[in-house]
Structure 1
Amino acid sequence: MRKLALSDEILLKVEKPARYIGGEVNSVMKDRDKVDIRFAMCFPDVYEIGMSHLGIQILYDMFNRMEDVWCERVYSPWTDLDRIMREEHIPLFALESQDPIKDFDFLGITIQYEMCYTNILQVLDLSGIPLLAAQRDEDCPIVIGGGPCAYNPEPLADFFDLFYIGEGETVYRKLLDVYKENKSSGGSRRDFLLKAARIEGIYVPMFYHTEYREDGTIASFEPTEPGVPAVVKKQVVMDMAQTTYPERPIVPFIKVTQDRVVLEIQRGCIRGCRFCQAGMLYRPTRERDVETLKEYARRMLESTGHEEISLSSLSSSDYSKLEELVSFLIDECNERGINISLPSLRIDAFSLDVMSKVQDVKKSSLTFAPEAGSQRMRDVINKGLTEEDILTGAGQAFEGGWNKVKLYFMLGLPTETREDMEAIAVLADKVARRYYEIPKDQRNGKCQITASSSFFIPKPFTPFQWARMYSNEEYIARAAIVKHAFQDQLNRKSLKYNWHDAEVTVLEGILARGDRRVGRAVLEAYRSGCIYDAWTENFHYEKWLEAFEKTGIDLAFYNERERGADEIFPWDFIDIGVTKQFLRREWERAMRGEVTPNCRQQCSGCGVARWKGGVCVEGKN
């Protein structure tokens, strides 16, 4: 029987002790003496968030199918346990075995969101692992970073031994074999890292050097060891039938953010929205076989007892077998009394018909993401959505019984004018007006249109990576313009407007596009007490500003200037398939307000055809 790392006395002092005890249904236990490699898989946020992440479940399942590997999980302790662990000198531990993380061979950290960067340092610190990779000795685990934020690893480069660039099903087995061979031959930590750096898709920061110009921009970025590649190529699974999928996902003891079976139906997206990082990173689009998905759904529902199933995709409506899959799920789930969640659908007649069958329309609201209020602005961002599409979809929804609609927008987009900002309120009013055009006896009470705006953040590997951002004060001023415009609308009593935190946006922006020097500020912020920055109650903007000032990091340099066409970006050494030339071409088309057709309509020559032997998955070359 396992001995818990925390005593009953400590567990009774913390909120939700079930976060830390492990032993959940479908978690994997192995004999530690019969495996060669112990791998701690970490999501640097609270248990409820980390347990909802599909990527962790996929990798956990993949590793534990390997006889020589035992993969366990670890999450960031919440602030109450964090304090106790520091006071009592309790090392951070894995959920399955309750063994200290420092005793593992690898600590793999999924970097999903920039605002979790200080939590990464918390995990290392509580584990007793030196925060700086350069200070680690032979007894420390190899610290690996992966996930979307690893596509600009430089702000975190000093804290990681290596980064895995791409999808985990590709070269992890090779990496683990190299580790075993190096260990059996008596090789050092540095020996392993040098061998790892020569594996396609692996980036080892210690073997690269950056030179800067007098103006602060990058002059060069080069490898420092022979055989280490100048370009790190993203790893992609082209045949989805060859990948494993967790048919027995772990079932948590407590309610988590996504407390349901998740069915990944495809990877990638055909749409080409110019602000969307995921749409570029995960190209090309690859679908899972519909018959396989049906079998996965059956097995996961049986093995978990979950009462809801959700489809996972960047754009579910673009899955070619969606109608067949949804029809199957409706039949299967109605018999079992299971709910179906269908996120990422375009609001059209088919989607509304499906949602009317799987949702209680009296309790649910529909979500549209126009992203911009004016058609001009939607063309700039290549949203591929007209006002007619939005109003037609809303009208069909209202006629189908819905009376609540959420609209999501962005403020601070490139070329944005005051008229574009005010158009957000005008569009929301037009949606409300469409509701009141329905005969009164056919309406479902009063309508409620809730519009929310986030502030635009230019992300790496998007056409907008050259764009400038604004200061905290400028973002608030833009939100005020929209708010006043809402007050001027005819149907203002049916409208509600809110906006995201501008301070968080400013910080997320510098972490997203920062270079290796920004890591000094991350470390300083952590030392000043910053953790759980993604949580409003724990976010301390002033401490971050002090950290930037103390380490000599100029916010305006990173956020408030448009990049030059020839500027070297910190992430330019990574090849994601989509070329920088294509992204620049899309930036220039955006400045002219020109729309680029989606991949199924016409191949735009983005570069990912290389992953399919010269033939693009969606378009025609």
Structure 2
Amino acid sequence: MRKLALRDEILLQIDKAARYIGGEVNAVMKNKNDVDIRFAMAFPDVYEIGMSNLGMMILYDMFNKRDDVWCERLFSPWTDLDKIMREEHIPLFTLESQDPVKEFDFLGITLGYEMCYTNVLQLLDLSGIPLLAKERTEDDPLVIGGGACAYNPEPLAPFFDLFYIGEGEMVYGALFDAYKANQKAGGSRQDFLLKAAQIPGIYVPSLYKVTYKEDGTIESFQPKYENVPEKVEKQLVIDMDKDYNKLEAPVVPHIKATQDRVTLEIQRGCIRGCRFCQAGMIYRPTRERDIETLKESARIMLQKTGHEEISLSSLSSSDYSHLKEIVNFLIDEFRDEAVNISLPSLRIDAFALDVMSKVQDVKKSSLTFAPEAGSQRLRNVINKGLTEEDILHGAGEAFKGGWNQVKLYFMLGLPTETEDDMKGIAHLAQKIAETYYEVVPKEQRKGKVQINVSTSFFVPKPFTPFQWAPMFREEDFIEKAKVVKNEIRSQLNQRSIRYNWHEPDVTVLEGFLARGDRRCADVILKAYEKGALYDAWSESFHYDIWKEAFRETGVDIEFYTLRERSTDEILPWDFIDAGVTKKFLIHEWEQAKAETVTPNCRQKCSGCGVLKYKGGVCCESKN
């Protein structure tokens, strides 16, 4: 029987003790003496959120298929346990063996969103690993980061030994083999880092030097050694049959996870070209999974997990060419087992509504539309590819089908936005409410229509056409939200429209972290030392701490948030080859200013640069 790292009296003092005990169904147990590499895989947030991360589960499964590797999991301790661990000097441990993280060869940290950065430092701190990579010794684990935020690793560069740029299936094997060879040869930590930097997709921050101009912009970003590449090229799975790691037995959480279901990834990438969307750019080209493989994976995963719900995962599920077949298969195959089917990322068309009427309880569900902008002009600027006619028609069909609740998602602060664009959010909500009363006879209505409008504030992200765009101050964002709120109050159906908006202070900080350079690490470290933790959680976020950190480090947040970048400026992430070329992104930035729509990849190849990744849908497009 395993000995838990936490005593019974501690487990009784903390919330959700099941987060820390391990032993779940499908968790992988090995003898640590029988493996060459111990890999601690961390997610810098609570267990329930981390256990919903598909990428982490795929890598956990893939690593453990190697006989010479044992991959174990850990997550950020919640604030109650964090306090106890510090007071009683309890080292951070993994769930499987309950061994201290400090004893492992690697600590891998998934970087899914910028607001988890102080939690990254928490993981290192509680593990007894020096926060700065330059202070680590031969006895410390190698700290490697990956995930969406690794596409601008610079704000975290001083804290990591390595970063993996791209999809994990491709070169982790080579990295592990290089580590074993270095160990066998008696090589040092530095020897390994030099070898690792020569593996495609691996970025070692300490092997690069950054210089700055007098105006604060980057003057140069160069490798320190000849055999270290100037560009780090993202790694992608192109052969989705051969190289994709089929996840068949995901770990089943002890407690309800945020996504408490089987996740079936049906494709990677997106044919759409929304100019604000980082995922749509960095995960190009679109690569579909084989339909028969998906059917078999669905059967196996539902059997091995006991889950009663399955979700089809994709950036744009409606664009999967075999969507109708896989949905009908799931409905027919698991009808007797009462398995629920979740369909995120669907465009609301006739097929989607027909499917949802079969798999959802119409009386309880609400439909989600993401127009992103209130006017057609601004939707053209962001290349949303969605007209007002599309939205109203989809809503009308949904209302005829029995729905009377709609969620609408928008962004405020988009490039070129005007007051009319903001007010357009209220006007579109009003038109949708009117559509309900127009298409649904009075005797068939299930009460009033309910329109829930939600606005977030725009954050420019690396490798998007909007990466050069300026943001706004906190007070500006609040004023924009007030414009929408007041306009909604003036609508005829105002009582049917509810409105809420995202926190502007969190948005501003996210913008700083998203486009920051290495100098931003000083602010992150100072904020953590002052108590910043769980910044993604409203109840834990304290912007005053960050303001103090900016003052004490002398870093000007507005240099990173308010300033429009020149297209010839060296950006902190320019050393990464993410497939899409800078030339294409500049062209799309110009297209946005001209309010010109770019066709999606199936309609016409836009020459974004990912043609070199043979096998994606872009390679099949015709000019």
TM-score range, shorter chain: over 0.9
For 1:46-90, what per-residue CA distance to the aligned partner results, in whole angstroms no more than 9, with x for missing partners?
A: 000000000011000000000000000010000000000000000
Where do residues 387-398 of structure 1 align in structure 2 (5 Å cutoff)? 387-398=388-399
The corresponding residue for 2:546 is: 544
Q: CA deviation at 1:308?
A: 0.6
- Residue in 1 aligned with 2:585? 583
Unaligned runs of 5+ residues in structure 2 are: none
Q: TM-score, normalised by structure 1?
A: 0.99
Query: By how many angstroms is 1:334 displaced?
Result: 1.6
Instruction: Decide whether the 8 Å contact of 2:318 with 2:347 is kept in 1.
Output: yes
Query: Relative to structure 1, is the Cα distance of residues 615 and 454 closer, same or farther in structure 2, using a 3 angstrom cutoff?
Result: closer
- Counterpart in 1 of 2:187? 187
Tell whether the 8 Å contact from 1:151 to 1:165 is kept in structure 2 after alignment: yes
Partner residue of 1:608 out of 602, 610, 615: 610
Q: For 1:241, what is the secondary structure of its paired residue? A: coil
Report the alpha carbon displacement of residue 614 of structure 1 after superposing the two structures with TM: 10
**How many positions carry a matched residue from both structures?**
621
Provide the residue aligned with 1:337 in structure 2: 338
Do residues 483 (structure 1) and 485 (structure 2) align?
A: yes
Do structure 1's residue 429 and structure 2's residue 422 form an aligned pair?
no
User: Structure 1 residues 320 and 421 mapped into 2: Cα distance closer, same or farther (>3 Å)?
Assistant: same
Which residue type is aligned with residue 579 of structure 1? T
Q: Percent identity?
A: 71
Q: CA RMSD in A?
A: 0.9
- 1:235 equivalent in structure 2: 235
CA contact (8 A) 1:285 1:617 kept: no
Q: Structure 2 CA distance, aligned partners of 1:86 and 1:445? A: 54
Task: Give the corresponding residue for 1:411.
Answer: 412
Helix, strand or coil at the partner of 2:241: helix
CA shift digits 1:314-346 (9 cap, x unpaired):
000000000000000011222101111000000
The alpha carbon displacement at 1:245 in A equals 1.8
Deviation at 1:493, TM superposition (A): 1.0
Say whether residues 1:62 and 2:62 are aligned partners. yes
Displacement after TM superposition at 1:244 (Å): 1.6
Matched, 1:346 2:347: yes
| 1:12 aligned counterpart, secondary structure | helix
Distance 2:616 2:180 in 1: 36
Distance in 1 (alpha carbons) for counterparts of 2:546 and 2:619 = 44
Q: State the alpha-carbon separation in 1 of the partners of residues 526 and 335 from structure 2.
A: 53
SS in 2 for 1:536: coil
For the Cα contact (< 8 Å) 1:457–1:505, is it kept in 2? yes
The C-alpha deviation readout for 1:175-215, integer Å capped at 9, x for no partner, is 00000000011000000000001111100000001110000
The whole-number CA distance in structure 1 between the counterparts of 2:620 and 2:489 is 44
For residue 345 of structure 2, give the secondary structure of its aligned residue in structure 1.
coil
Distance in 2 (alpha carbons) for counterparts of 1:464 and 1:249: 36
1:442, 1:389 → 2: CA distance?
24
Per-residue CA distance 1:415-474 (angstroms, 9 max, x = gap): 000000000000000000000112211222211000000000000000000100000000
Structure-2 change in CA distance of 1:241 and 1:15 (3 Å): same
1:463 is aligned, of 454, 462, 465, to 465
Q: Which residue of 2 aligns with 1:324?
A: 325
**Which amino acid in structure 2 is aligned with residue 599 of structure 1?**
C
| Corresponding position: 1:149 with 2:149 | yes
Point out 4+ residue stretches in structure 1 off by more than 6 angstroms: none
Deviation at 1:556, TM superposition (A): 1.0
What does residue 506 of structure 1 align with? 508
Write the letter of the residue equivalent to 2:343: L
Q: Is the 8 A contact 1:609 1:615 kept in 2?
A: no
Q: 1:451 aligns with which of 453, 456, 474?
A: 453
Question: Which whole-Å deviations, capped at 9, do the CAs of 1:547-590 have from their partners, x for residues lacking one?
Answer: 01111111111000111120110000000110000000000000
Alignment of 1:559 onto 2:561: yes
Relative to structure 2, which stretch is displaced further, 435-444 or 446-455? 435-444
Equivalent position of 2:363 in the other structure: 362
Letter in 1 for 2:602: R
Q: Which amino acid aligns with 1:19?
A: R
Per the alignment, residue 571 of structure 1 pairs with 573
CA 1:605–1:35: 2 relative to 1, 3 Å: same
Does structure 2 conserve the Cα–Cα contact (< 8 Å) formed by 1:370 and 1:408? yes
Query: Partner letter of residue 20 of structure 2?
Result: Y
Question: How far does residue 616 in structure 1 lie from its aligned partner after superposition?
Answer: 3.1
Query: Counterpart of 1:272 in 2: which secondary structure?
Result: coil
Q: CA deviation at 1:618?
A: 4.7
Higher mean alpha-carbon deviation, 548-557 vs 405-414, is at: 548-557
In 2: Cα distance, 1:444 partner to 1:214 partner = 64
Find the counterpart in structure 1 of residue 197 from structure 2: 197
Could you say what secondary structure the match of 1:451 adopts? strand
Deviation at 1:617, TM superposition (A): 3.2
Counterpart check, 1:283 vs 2:281: no
Q: Under a length normalisation based on structure 2, what TM-score does the superposition of the two structures give? A: 0.99
Q: In 2 relative to 1, CA 335–418 (structure 1 residues): closer, same or farther, beyond 3 Å?
A: same
The match for 1:88 is 88
Measure, in 1, the Cα distance between the counterparts of 2:596 and 2:555: 36
CA distance in 2, matches of 1:131, 1:138: 15
Equivalence map 1:505-544=2 (5 Å) = 505-544=507-546
Q: Give the aligned partner of residue 159 of structure 1.
A: 159
Q: CA deviation at 1:225?
A: 1.1
For residue 615 of structure 1, report the CA deviation from its aligned partner. Answer: 8.6
CA distance in 1, matches of 2:606, 2:162: 33
Match for 2:169: what amino acid? E
1:375 aligns with 2:373: no
Tell me whether 441-450 or 193-202 shows the greater mean CA deviation: 441-450
2:208 alignment counterpart = 208
Using the alignment, how far apart are the partners of 1:3 and 1:598 within structure 2? 55
Paired amino acid for 2:354:
D
Report the Cα distance in structure 2 between the residues aligned to 1:375 and 1:257, rounded to whole angstroms: 34
**Cα pair 1:91 1:126 within 8 Å, conserved:** yes
Structure 2 counterpart of 1:39, one-letter code: F
> Matched residues in 2 for 1:9 and 1:580: separation?
56
> Once the 2 structures are TM-superposed, how far is the Cα of residue 6 of structure 1 from its aligned partner?
0.4
The Cα offsets for residues 371-405 of structure 1, whole Å up to 9 and x where unpaired, read as 00100000000000000000000000000000000
Question: Would you say the 8 A contact 1:333–1:340 is kept in 2?
Answer: no
What code does the residue aligned with 1:566 have?
D
Q: What is the rounded CA distance, in whole Å, between the counterparts of 2:445 and 2:606 in structure 1? A: 44
Contact kept, 8 Å, 2:238 with 2:615, in 1: the verdict is no
In 2, the alpha carbon distance for the partners of 1:133 and 1:332 equals: 51
Paired residue for 2:301? Answer: 300
CA distance in 1, matches of 2:200, 2:299: 36
> Does the C-alpha gap of structure 1 residues 67 and 619 become closer, same or farther in structure 2, counting only changes over 3 Å?
same
Alpha-carbon separation, structure 2, partners of 1:557 and 1:16? 41
Secondary structure of 2:613's match? helix
1:619 deviates by 2.1
Q: Distance in 2 between matches of 1:150 and 1:613?
A: 24
Listed as ranges, the gaps of 5+ residues in structure 1 are none
Q: Secondary structure at the match of 2:14?
A: coil
Q: Is the Cα contact below 8 Å between 2:285 and 2:616 reproduced in 1?
A: no
> Would you say the 8 A contact 2:285–2:617 is kept in 1?
no
Residues 405 and 449 in structure 1, CA contact (< 8 A), matched pair in contact too: yes
For residues 102 and 414 of structure 1, the distance between their equivalents in structure 2, rounded to whole angstroms, comes to 46
Shift, 1:613, TM fit:
7.7
Looking at structure 2, the residues matched to 545 and 609 of structure 1 have their Cα atoms a distance apart, in angstroms, of 44
Letter in 1 for 2:466: F
